[in-house]
Every structure is written in C-alpha cells, then in structure tokens.
Amino acid sequence: MRIKKNTVVSINYELTDATGNVLEKTEMPISYLHGGYGGIFPMIEEALHDMEIGFSCSVSMEPEDTFGEYDAELIRVEPRSSFPENVTAGMHFEGGVEGSNDVVIYKVTDVTDDSVIVDGNHPFAGMKLTFACTVTDVRIATPEEISHQHVHGAHGHEH
C-alpha cells in the first residue's frame, strides 16, 4: 500500500544534529496520520508521500522547518514566590507568552533565592536537524482517526 492522504504511517526514526549526535531514536515505531494533519514535520511527510513499507529516507532540515529559531525573548526571570517550594532546574511549567494568547511549556534552567529562570524554547530550537526514517507499516485510517485528525490505538493516541 502506498502512503496517501488519510493513511496511518508507522516509522522508525533517528533525529541527529548537524554534527551527527543522536538527539532522539525510536525504540519502537511511531505512527502518524498522513495528509497535512501536523503529526510530523511537513518535509518528512512530503518525502514519504506515495512511498511504501520498507522505504527509507534522510532529510536535512533548517530550524524554520522544525522547531524554529532560538528566541531569546522566551527566556524569563520570574519571582521565586510564583513557583512551588520544591522547584528545581529541569522542571517544566506551562505559561503564557507576553503580548500573546499562546501557551508555552517553559523549562526551569536556574533557581536562586529570589528568582526562577525559565526558557520557553524547544530544546532543539535553532538547530539544523537530520531526520532519518524507515516506513514499517501503512494502513487506511479509520473514519474516527480522520475526524479526530490523529492516530488511535497502537503507537497512537488513546481516548
């Protein structure tokens, strides 16, 4: 079966930075709904379109094709009193972006007696990345998956 709009595609992948360091690698396949639903990078979806099980590819992507450029304005210094007593570096919190209705996941990067420094950038923001993958399965999406715009069941979303 060929990968077309409204098929569920399962892949194994490896994501590396510009120097070849492995940033992510699947232990078992992940699945996404093919056809512009936002479940995978658009450049990868384009490379996989009309391919079949066993197809492998490697796509180099610039920051604007993945997690965007690093934005120094997403680093904030917040009052220590705004956080739980047990806050530590590495914790994540949801928060708003100044001047926007957007919500971002901020990572705590430092904690002092008076302040907490958080960073709302994705860890891979500003990086050129290479996404190498192999298609392990392709199937027709269910009407429910199409209406919900994501995969259900094995390797997908559970309701």
The fold of 7-66+125-148 is Chitinase A; domain 3 (3.10.50)
What confidence category does residue 19 fall into, taking pLDDT thresholds of 50, 70 and 90? very high
Cβ pair 124, 5 in contact under 8 A: no
CA angle 87/106/34 to nearest 5° reads 135
Amino acid making up residue 18 = A
pLDDT band for 95, please (50, 70, 90 cuts). Answer: confident
Mean pLDDT of 103-114: 94
The dotted CATH code for 72-119 is 2.40.10.330
Q: Where are the domains of the chain?
A: 7-66+125-148, 72-119
| Cα–Cα distance, 97 to 30 (Å, whole number) | 30
CA-to-CA distance for 8 and 72, rounded, in angstroms?
37
- Tell me the pTM: 0.83
Compute the distance between CA of residue 22 and CA of residue 101 in angstroms, rounded to an integer: 34
User: Given this model, what pLDDT does residue 159 score?
Assistant: 47
